[in-house]
Chain A
Amino acid sequence: MTVNQIVMECLQIALLIAVAPLFVGWVRMLKCWAQSRSTASLFQPYRDLLKLFSKDVILAENASWIFRFTPYLVFGTVILSGAVVPMLTTKLPLSPSADVIVLVGLFAIARFFTALAGMDIGTAFGGMGSSREMMVASLAEPAMLMAIFTVSLVNQSTSLSHIAEVMYSGHAVLKPSLAFAFIAFILITLAETGRIPVDNPSTHLELTMLHEAMILEYSGRHLALIEWAGMMKLFLFMALGSALFVPWGIARSDSLLMGLMAGVLLLLKVGASGVVLVLIETGLAKMRLFRLTEFLGSAFLMATLGMLSFFILE
Chain B
Amino acid sequence: MSMLSEALREAFPEELQFDHRQHPSRVICCLLPRERFAEAAKVLKKKYALLAAEWASDETLLGKGFSVYACYRWGKEYLIVRSELPAEDPSFPSLTKKYLPAYRFERQMQSLMGVIPAGHPDLRPWIKFEDWPQDCYPLRKSFDSTEPLPRVDGEYQWAKAEGEGVYEIPVGPVHAGIIEPGHFRFQAVGEMVVNLEERLGYVHKGIEKKFEALSWHDAARLAGRVSGDSTVAHSIAYSLAVESISGLTGCNIPERAHWLRALFLERERIANHLGDIGAVCNDAAFAFMLYQLSRLRELLLRTNLRLFGHRFIMDRVFPGGVSVDITAQGRDEILAEMEIVAKDFERLVEVYEESSSLEDRVRDTGVLKPEKARELCVVGIVARASGMNLDCRIFNPFPPYDQYDRLELDVPVKVTGDVHARVWVRVEETRESIRIIRYILENMPAGPISVAVGDPLPETAGFAAVEGWRGEIIYWLQAGRAGEINRCMVRDPSSVNWLGLEQAIPGNIVPDFPLCNKSFNQSYSGHDL
Q: Which of the residues B169, B291, B509, B514 comes within 8 Å of A290, measured between beta carbons?
A: B509
A200-B285, A204-B176, A205-B177 as given contacts; A289 in contact with B511, CB under 8 Å: yes
Q: Which of the residues A202, A282, A287, A289 comes within 8 Å of B191, measured between beta carbons?
A: A289
Nearest-Cβ distance from residue A164 to partner chain B, whole angstroms: 34
Q: Which of the residues A205, A283, A289 comes within 8 Å of B514, measured between beta carbons?
A: A205
**Considering only CB atoms, which chain A residue lies closest to B286 in the complex?**
A285
Complex CA gap A285/B510 in Å reads: 17
**Considering only CB atoms, which chain B residue lies closest to A200 in the complex?**
B285
Find residues 40-88 in chain A having any chain B CB closer than 8 Å to their own CB: none
* Interface contact A286-B285, CB-CB below 8 Å: yes
* Interface contact B511-A208, CB-CB below 8 Å: yes
Choose among B167, B288, B511, B512 the residue with the greatest number of A CB atoms under 10 Å from its CB. Answer: B511
Q: Which of the residues B167, B357, B513 comes within 8 Å of A284, measured between beta carbons?
A: B357
Find residues 10-66 in chain A having any chain B CB closer than 8 Å to their own CB: 34-37
Query: Which residues of the partner chain B approach A206 to less than 8 Å between Cβ atoms?
Result: 171, 176
Nearest-Cβ distance from residue B18 to partner chain A, whole angstroms: 51
**Considering only CB atoms, which chain B residue lies closest to A125 in the complex?**
B169
* Interface contact B285-A203, CB-CB below 8 Å: yes
Nearest-Cβ distance from residue A194 to partner chain B, whole angstroms: 12
One digit per residue, 1 when the CB lies within 8 angstroms of any chain A CB and 0 when it does not, for chain B 432-467 equals 000000000000000000000000000000000000
Query: Which residues of the partner chain A approach B357 to less than 8 Å between Cβ atoms?
Result: 197, 283-285, 287
A128-B169, A206-B171 as given contacts; A285 in contact with B177, CB under 8 Å: no
One digit per residue, 1 when the CB lies within 8 angstroms of any chain B CB and 0 when it does not, for chain A 194-216 equals 00110010111111100000000
Nearest-Cβ distance from residue A290 to partner chain B, whole angstroms: 7
Nearest-Cβ distance from residue A202 to partner chain B, whole angstroms: 8
**Considering only CB atoms, which chain B residue lies closest to A284 in the complex?**
B357
CB of B325 closer than 8 Å to a CB of A = no
Complex CA gap A291/B363 in Å reads: 14
Nearest-Cβ distance from residue B489 to partner chain A, whole angstroms: 34
Find residues 180-235 in chain A having any chain B CB closer than 8 Å to their own CB: 196-197, 200, 202-208
CB of B120 closer than 8 Å to a CB of A = no
Complex CA gap A196/B288 in Å reads: 13
Q: Which of the residues B283, B287, B292, B360 comes within 8 Å of A208, measured between beta carbons?
A: B283
CB of A124 closer than 8 Å to a CB of B = yes
Find residues 342-363 in chain B having any chain A CB closer than 8 Å to their own CB: 355, 357-358, 360-361
Complex CA gap A207/B511 in Å reads: 5
Query: Which residues of the partner chain A approach B361 to less than 8 Å between Cβ atoms?
Result: 285-288
Query: Which residues of the partner chain B approach A287 to less than 8 Å between Cβ atoms?
Result: 357, 360-361
* Interface contact A34-B288, CB-CB below 8 Å: yes
Complex CA gap A127/B169 in Å reads: 10
Complex CA gap A284/B168 in Å reads: 31
Complex CA gap A291/B361 in Å reads: 10
Query: Which residues of the partner chain B approach A127 to less than 8 Å between Cβ atoms?
Result: 167
* Interface contact B355-A207, CB-CB below 8 Å: no
Query: Which residues of the partner chain A approach B514 to less than 8 Å between Cβ atoms?
Result: 205, 207-208
Complex CA gap A54/B363 in Å reads: 45
Query: Which residues of the partner chain A approach B355 to less than 8 Å between Cβ atoms?
Result: 283-285
Query: Which residues of the partner chain A approach B284 to less than 8 Å between Cβ atoms?
Result: 285-286
Complex CA gap A284/B177 in Å reads: 23
One digit per residue, 1 when the CB lies within 8 angstroms of any chain A CB and 0 when it does not, for chain B 495-510 equals 0000000000000011
**Considering only CB atoms, which chain B residue lies closest to A195 in the complex?**
B285
One digit per residue, 1 when the CB lies within 8 angstroms of any chain B CB and 0 when it does not, for chain A 266-293 equals 0000000000000000111111111100
A37-B291, A286-B285, A286-B361 as given contacts; A124 in contact with B511, CB under 8 Å: no
One digit per residue, 1 when the CB lies within 8 angstroms of any chain B CB and 0 when it does not, for chain A 115-150 equals 000000000110110001000000000000000000
Complex CA gap A202/B361 in Å reads: 18
One digit per residue, 1 when the CB lies within 8 angstroms of any chain A CB and 0 when it does not, for chain B 158-187 equals 000000000111110000110000000000
* Interface contact A35-B287, CB-CB below 8 Å: yes
A124-B167, A203-B285, A206-B176 as given contacts; A288 in contact with B360, CB under 8 Å: yes
Nearest-Cβ distance from residue A174 to partner chain B, whole angstroms: 30
**Considering only CB atoms, which chain B residue lies closest to A208 in the complex?**
B511
Query: Which residues of the partner chain A approach B191 to less than 8 Å between Cβ atoms?
Result: 132, 289-290
A-B pair count, CB < 8 Å, reads 77
Query: Which residues of the partner chain A approach B285 to less than 8 Å between Cβ atoms?
Result: 196-197, 200, 203, 284-286
Nearest-Cβ distance from residue A139 to partner chain B, whole angstroms: 15
Complex CA gap A33/B334 in Å reads: 29
CB of B242 closer than 8 Å to a CB of A = no
Complex CA gap A132/B191 in Å reads: 9
* Interface contact A285-B358, CB-CB below 8 Å: yes
* Interface contact B512-A288, CB-CB below 8 Å: yes
A285-B286, A285-B357 as given contacts; A207 in contact with B177, CB under 8 Å: no
CB of B477 closer than 8 Å to a CB of A = no
* Interface contact B281-A285, CB-CB below 8 Å: yes
Q: Which of the residues B167, B169, B288, B509 comes within 8 Å of A35, measured between beta carbons?
A: B288
**Considering only CB atoms, which chain A residue lies closest to B359 in the complex?**
A285
Query: Which residues of the partner chain B approach A288 to less than 8 Å between Cβ atoms?
Result: 360-361, 365, 509, 511-512
**Considering only CB atoms, which chain B residue lies closest to A197 in the complex?**
B357
* Interface contact B170-A205, CB-CB below 8 Å: no
Nearest-Cβ distance from residue B208 to partner chain A, whole angstroms: 33
Find residues 284-308 in chain B having any chain A CB closer than 8 Å to their own CB: 284-288, 291-292
* Interface contact A36-B291, CB-CB below 8 Å: yes
* Interface contact B176-A124, CB-CB below 8 Å: no
Nearest-Cβ distance from residue A311 to partner chain B, whole angstroms: 34
Complex CA gap A288/B516 in Å reads: 13
Query: Which residues of the partner chain A approach B177 to less than 8 Å between Cβ atoms?
Result: 204-205
**Considering only CB atoms, which chain B residue lies closest to A196 in the complex?**
B285
Query: Which residues of the partner chain B approach A286 to less than 8 Å between Cβ atoms?
Result: 284-286, 361
Choose among A132, A200, A206, A207 the residue with the greatest number of B CB atoms under 10 Å from its CB. Answer: A207
Nearest-Cβ distance from residue B419 to partner chain A, whole angstroms: 12
A204-B176, A286-B284, A288-B360 as given contacts; A128 in contact with B510, CB under 8 Å: yes
Query: Which residues of the partner chain A approach B287 to less than 8 Å between Cβ atoms?
Result: 35, 202, 282
* Interface contact A207-B510, CB-CB below 8 Å: yes
Nearest-Cβ distance from residue B190 to partner chain A, whole angstroms: 8
Complex CA gap A283/B358 in Å reads: 10
Listed in ascending order, the chain A residues whose CB lies under 8 Å from chain B are: 34-37, 124-125, 127-128, 132, 196-197, 200, 202-208, 282-291
User: What are 17 A-B contacts defined by CB distance under 8 Å?
Assistant: A34-B288, A35-B292, A125-B169, A196-B285, A197-B357, A203-B285, A207-B513, A207-B514, A283-B357, A284-B357, A285-B355, A286-B284, A286-B285, A287-B361, A288-B365, A289-B511, A291-B360
In the complex, given contacts A207-B511, A288-B512, what are 17 additional A-B residue pairs having Cβ atoms less than 8 angstroms apart?
Answer: A34-B288, A35-B291, A36-B292, A124-B167, A128-B169, A197-B285, A200-B285, A205-B514, A208-B514, A282-B287, A284-B357, A285-B284, A285-B285, A285-B357, A288-B360, A289-B509, A289-B511
User: Which 7 A/B pairs are nearest by Cβ-Cβ distance?
Assistant: A286-B285, A204-B176, A200-B285, A285-B358, A285-B284, A285-B286, A208-B511
